Structure 1
Amino acid sequence: MLTLEGCRERRQRLWDQLPDDTQWVLVADPRHVYYLSGFLVQPLSFSVGERGWLLLERNGPATLLADNFTRRSAIAPPHVDAEELETWYDHRHSVVNRDHALLASLKRVAGGLLDRPGIIEEEALPLHASGYLPDAVGEFEHHEQWHTLGNLLRRLRRNKHADEVATLERAMRACAAGHAAALATVAPGVTEFEVYQAIHAAVLAETRHPVQIYGDFRSTNRETPKRGGAPTDQVLAAGDLLLLDYSVIVDGYRSDFTNTVSAGPPGPEVQRLFQA
């Protein structure tokens, strides 16, 4: 899970790369909002697919913009100084368009940004939102190159901080636990889905945390030499190979390991290919 210290370090790295006259930035891509603030909507929640935006002010606060239900669906409290939340649902009244609720939170802070040079992540921001920010730009020149905020953040994300590495290691341990469970489960007479269940149980036992698991869990043989996708009720026969190429996502960070496991002793041709 991302830490307060890590988020502050990443925000400072961002400011170090921006033109000196930039007074504020509005980050809109959910991956980048999470990277800089730790705000991530729980993917196994009612609000999956919803988003918040992050307003950063030079020498000022970091403010999360969101609707109230999106905020309550976060995986953890965000590392921000302020929250501008629009009530989307109060258990008493009909709801409004959630995109409009997010725009309403932006509208409330936009007045304080007028006549101050700022940069928006235009790749991920609805066109309508830019109308509230007439002094913002989507591209900027720095170090003799033209940038967009989204491209800059993608480059910054390539260098991982300690809290990111720790989250990646947690995802890797979970993925490895799933593969160990698969090795103990694969046998003739077992279905692809039963192997998947064993993997899923082992991953959850390792993380003790809601995670996402996706990838290839399919068997192959001479008649069907290549196959991938979600597991089925296909029964493994002696000599079949089960492709396990899957990812585990823990708090937004992904591991990806691959193994091919034989159901029973591998045949001579498989052993030859393995040795090659």
Structure 2
Amino acid sequence: MNERLSKLTDRLIGREWQGVIIYSPENRYYFSKYRGTAGMLVIQSGSQKLITDFRYVDQAKAQASDFDVLQHQQNMVELVCDQFSHLKRGVVGLEFGAVPVEIYLELKERLPQIEFVDCSEVTNAIRSIKDEEEIESIAKGIEICDQAFAHILTFIEPGKTEKEIGLELELFMKKAGAEGIKANHVIASGPRASLPHGQATDRVLEVGDFLKMDYGAIVNGYISDFTRTVVLGPPTEKQLKIYSIVRKAQEESLKIIGPGVRCCDVDDVGRSIIADAGYGPNFGHSLGHSLGLFIHESPALRSTDQTILQPGMVITVEPGIYIPGWGGVRIEDLLVITEDGYRNLTTSTKDLQIINVREEVH
């Protein structure tokens, strides 16, 4: 049995649960290595079943070596329930945030003697500590992002559209080894840079624009996250000011990060710097978040998260200032918490990159 399964089984026994049903693609892959798009895991003490249909049986057997693969004919839920039908009563963990309502209702109807409880806290806690294999995949992803940033600096120029920038980044990253890019790919220029998650549009880049690029490469299913903001042509005094505040907020936050530090305390450092500069209302998201098989995992660097950072956690640090009608800046690095501090996986410079623009000849 792999270490991830062992951790889940230990918690299952400790809570006196009779089993756990895994539905989400991320947890399915995490615990079994199965990457098919259909299937459910039934994990009990001494028994691991992967239930899928005809299309994926061979794939499941090849990828999920720790599981007995069962093929359902018409109704996957019915076969899942068969694994618990011998119980007169019991408690079973279920991913409340992932399982569709119709499946939950069918489970309740077929297994009235079972109490279903949310297992997300358990699975999130296990996944929050990344192993070396996971860290290696995330590190490869952010290496591709760094390479893409160096490349895109030579591509950006007035007259290009946000979509052209986004497509060039995607093409470069896939050629560099990424299997895909993260879903919320952000390319926002000029006044649109004030949109924290502004998707690329046909807007044409102009001299004087801030260009905010937030993208991530996917490697072995693991997502990386990277943000830099550049300026086309000489920056104004206000642009330099806003950029320097965001950079200071990030760098001061990095100084306190390490094992034993509470997430909310890191958030407070970065948020206070932006607030003290008069831009508190212009920074409305968390200072950072964990990631892995999903773009936003637990824990998060926010005021309400008192999780204590531990070695093996992977966390972003991404303060920003967003001014409607003017633009915005975000700078993001990706860190791995270590025994004595952290390792910054992001190597791109945080100096404001100024894109040289050619003067028109009249």
For normalisation by structure 2, the TM-score amounts to: 0.57
Equivalent residue, structure 2, for 1:114: 87
> Are 1:11 and 2:5 matched, yes or no?
yes
Output one character per residue of 1:222-254: Cα deviation in whole Å (capped at 9) or x when no partner: xx6624522122211111111112333444432
Match of 1:136 in 2: 114
CA contact (8 A) 1:211 1:249 kept: yes
Q: Is the 8 A contact 2:22 2:42 kept in 1?
A: yes
* Contact 2:144–2:178 (8 Å) recurs in 1: no
Give the residue type in structure 1 aligned to 2:162: E
Q: CA deviation at 1:18?
A: 2.6
Deviation at 1:200, TM superposition (A): 0.4
Query: Which of 36, 49, 54 is the aligned partner of 1:63?
Result: 49
Shift of 1:22: 4.2
2:194 to 226, 238, 244: 226
Aligned-CA RMSD value:
3.0
Q: Work out the CA distance in 2 between the residues paired with 1:27 and 1:255.
A: 24
User: Aligned partners of 2:184, 2:88: CA distance in 1, in Å?
Assistant: 47
Please say which of residues 168-177 and 16-25 is displaced more in the overlay.
16-25
Residue type of the alignment partner of 2:234: P
Partner of 1:40: 35
Q: For residues 260 and 202 of structure 1, what CA distance do their matches in structure 2 show?
A: 19
How many angstroms apart in 2 are the aligned matches of 1:129 and 1:119? 11
Q: Does residue 180 of the first structure (1) align with residue 150 of the second (2)?
A: yes
Aligned-residue offset at 1:207: 1.9
User: Structure 1 residues 121, 225: CA separation in 2 closer, same or farther (over 3 Å shift)?
Assistant: closer
8 A Cα contact 1:67 1:85, kept in partner: yes
Deviations 1:157-192, CA, capped at 9 Å, x for gaps: 211122221222222223223322322211112211
Normalising by structure 1, what TM-score?
0.72
Q: Which residue of the other structure, out of 208, 230, 234, is the alignment partner of 1:239?
A: 208
Change beyond 3 A, Cα 1:70–1:184: farther
CA distance in 2 between counterparts of 1:191 and 1:24 reads: 52
User: Residue 11 of structure 2 aligns to which amino acid in structure 1?
Assistant: Q
1:131 CA drift (Å): 3.2
- Partner of 1:245: helix, strand, or coil? strand
Equivalent positions of 1:1-276 (< 5 A) are 8-19=2-13, 22-41=17-36, 51-60=38-47, 62-69=48-55, 77-87=63-73, 101-111=75-85, 113-115=86-88, 117=90, 119-121=92-94, 123=96, 124=99, 126-139=104-117, 148-221=118-191, 226-227=194-195, 228-276=197-245
Aligned partner letter, 2:42: L
Which letter maps to 1:132? R
Residue ranges of structure 1 left out of the alignment (5+ in a row): 42-46, 88-99, 140-147
Residue 219 of structure 1 deviates from its aligned partner by 0.6
Deviations along 1:178-217, one digit per CA (max 9) or x if unpaired, are: 3223222111122111111110012102225244443320
Letter in 2 for 1:19: I
**1:13 aligned partner, one-letter code:** K
- How far the C-alpha of 1:128 sits from its partner, in A, is 0.7
Change (3 A) 1:171 1:133: farther
Q: How has the CA–CA distance of structure 1 residues 213 and 152 changed in structure 2, closer, same or farther, with 3 Å as cutoff?
A: closer
TM-aligned CA deviation for residue 134 of structure 1: 4.3
Alignment gaps of 5+ in structure 2:
246-362
Q: Distance in 2 between matches of 1:194 and 1:24?
A: 49
- In structure 1, distance between residues paired with 2:72 and 2:140: 34
Alpha-carbon contact 1:219-1:241 (below 8 Å) kept: yes
Q: Which residue of 2 aligns with 1:145?
A: none
Whole-Å Cα distance in 2 between the matches of residues 245 and 122 of structure 1? 30
